Amino acid sequence: MKKSLIYLDEEDIQSSIDLLEAVRQIYRDECYETYAFCFNQPIEAAECKFNYVFSVRDNMLQGCDIVNLTNCLEELHRTYLFDSILIPASYQGRMLAPRLAMRLGVGLVADVTRIEYNDGELEMVRPAFSGKLFAGVTNKNCSPVMMSVRPNVFTYTSKHLKDTKIIPFHPVSLQPSKIKLLEAKEKERAKDIRESEILVSGGGGAAHHFDWLYQLADELNGMVSASRRVVDSGIAGRSIQVGQSGKTVSPRLYIALGIYGSLQHMEGLKNVESIISVNINRNAPICSLSDIVVEGDSKEFIEKLLTKIRNSKKNKDMEAER
């Protein structure tokens, strides 16, 4: 029976739970059990999804104390000998995963976006060379398999409920923290394109009128995103980039304006319900993924769609006043 441990990031529980799908793809038809590690937080979200949940309640353990978190996970592995350890590639996870790999003396594949099998061997796919290429890293029967996984690339959809057993964990390896919290300020939470159900996305063909995308996004109650070409040109910020070297998004509607659709960009689109592409090149790669393809200028498309939306809203307002 294979055993897999998933670290539940306190700041993004759902992305951590979605790693159950990654575990399923790793073991496929093999029998396996799933374990979760969480500390000083409610465990309700993990119940009925994992076979076991290790729950740590200790004021000595803080999310910012990566050393003690590493101690806990190392102690758990030395006790249970997991076959795989998966950590979300979050801000916290990117610091934790390499430390733990060093402690355990195993390799770490970071920022995994896909799991495959090559000649019967597990292959973990990740971006390389600033997102220009994909690298397939094969595991040569090394245990445990360790990886950090990009948020939003896997989605856990199983409706099978498990009888989760909660295991109180009292680590003996905790040390007095050398980190002291001097002050805490609530930071205003910025909107994230990964949370938007509608994305109006611009590529090189929309670079000269990129500001128009914000008007359309406002009318649709959506957000603006961009391709790498637009970001590299300095027109848009890296925080709204979609693609292999940007963010992975899963909106209900993705409107691609002037986007050619390289493999790296399309790698950032996962489980999108509908894609509308507007491009002067009907043979652009992204058109092959699209539900609707509009051959033409993206600026003209935006202008006409804005007029249509605003007239429709105006008519509704007039009817409501009658």
User: To which residue do tokens 């391709």 refer?
Assistant: 227
CB proximity list for 37: less than 8 A, separation 6 or greater: 5, 6, 7, 8, 53, 54, 56, 72, 73, 76, 169
CB proximity list for 200: less than 8 A, separation 6 or greater: 213, 216, 217, 220, 222, 223, 224, 225, 255, 257
Distance CA 93, CA 301 (A): 42
Distance CA 76, CA 94 (A): 19
Distance CA 100, CA 181 (A): 24
Closest CA to 216 of 280, 96, 305, 86: 305
DSSP 8-state code for residue 293: E
- Phi then psi for 9, rounded to 5 degrees? -70, 125
> Could you count the other beta carbons within 10 Å of the beta carbon of residue 156?
16
At residue 294, what is the residue type?
V
Using DSSP's 3-state secondary structure scheme, residue 51 falls into coil
CB proximity list for 277: less than 8 A, separation 6 or greater: 256, 259, 261, 284, 286, 287, 289, 290, 292, 293, 294
Using DSSP's 3-state secondary structure scheme, residue 246 falls into coil
Residues of the binding site: 227-228, 241-245, 258-265, 279
Residues of the binding site for FAD: 227-228, 241-245, 258-265, 279
